[in-house]
Structure 1
């Protein structure tokens, strides 16, 4: 190749780059006219590449985390087992009461006899037992699965 061919190729590339910038500016100008706010989308709704929201009639399920299981069983009496490492006075403690509330990092139980409420941190939680069946909603399954288990 000679120097003239190289110069010609460089000019063509510069022209293509300039056209690309003009094209992008035109698109950006149109986008600015449409508005800066994206469309409002309900949580979990899928979007198509063009920005169109696809509405789904599928129910939204909570994930199977312990706090969600507790929330499904508020009002039930349970026994809750906790351990407190490096505690000289009491390393393990057992609480029995009505499950009143459950959060990501805590649960609240109450003693029916005294009315006293206790906030317990999940970081110390080991396990819980209940004397009655639990409501359990596994992701994708509504309510308790059909069938009775003999445990």
Structure 2
């Protein structure tokens, strides 16, 4: 069987030369992706989405800490943080009103001094509230309060 591939391997950085209109011959393909003489294996199944909601359980995408902090915007909190390998202070406590929260940060402001703190979430150990925590999502419609669901 004649081949359209060059007979010698080109040197590094060089490309094989084909004549006008010639292209390298590709190996044959088989339907179903099976090669004769080789065993076929079952195709892996797609895993179900981890965000799938289980009836009676708290929806995963709504239980993130930053969402809970956003729901409580304006409330006074105490944020406990630790900073590894810090020679000046290893742990620090911040107290203030929640201004904003994102996936990787929390912004609070001290109402007495007006000082604002941008705290990366990787340093946050836990947050305490001096009042009841809002945990009902306003966009969830007329359904039951999320606090009535068992935790995951």
TM-score by length of 1: 0.52
CA shift, 1:136, in A, is: 1.2
Separation in 1, partners of 2:94, 2:85: 19
Map of 1:125 onto structure 2: 124
Runs of 5+ in structure 2 lacking a partner? 1-30, 32-58
Higher helix share: 1
C-alpha deviation, 1:61, in angstroms: 8.7
Instruction: Work out whether 1:91 is the aligned partner of 2:90.
Output: yes
Task: Report what 1:71 is aligned to.
Answer: 70
Alignment-derived partner of residue 145 in structure 2: 142
Instruction: Classify the secondary structure of the residue corresponding to 2:106.
Output: strand
Give secondary structure in 2 for the equivalent of 1:68.
helix
Paired position in structure 1 for 2:107? 108
Q: Which residue of 1 aligns with 2:11?
A: none
**Distance (whole Å) between structure 2 residues aligned to residue 87 and residue 110 of structure 1:** 24
Q: CA deviation at 1:143?
A: 5.4
Question: With structure 2 as the length reference, what TM-score do the two structures score?
Answer: 0.52
Could you give the per-residue CA deviations for residues 6-53 of structure 1, whole angstroms, max 9, x where no partner exists? xxxxxxxxxxx9xxxxxxxxxxxxxxxxxxxxxxxxxxxxxxxxxxxx
Runs of 4+ in 1 over 3 A off after TM superposition: 137-146
CA distance in 2, matches of 1:82, 1:61: 25
Alignment check: 8 A CA contact 1:75 1:99 kept = yes
Q: Aligned to 2:69, what secondary structure does the other structure show? A: helix
- 1:142 deviates by 3.4
- Using the alignment, how far apart are the partners of 2:60 and 2:125 within structure 1? 25
The alpha carbon displacement at 1:113 in A equals 0.9
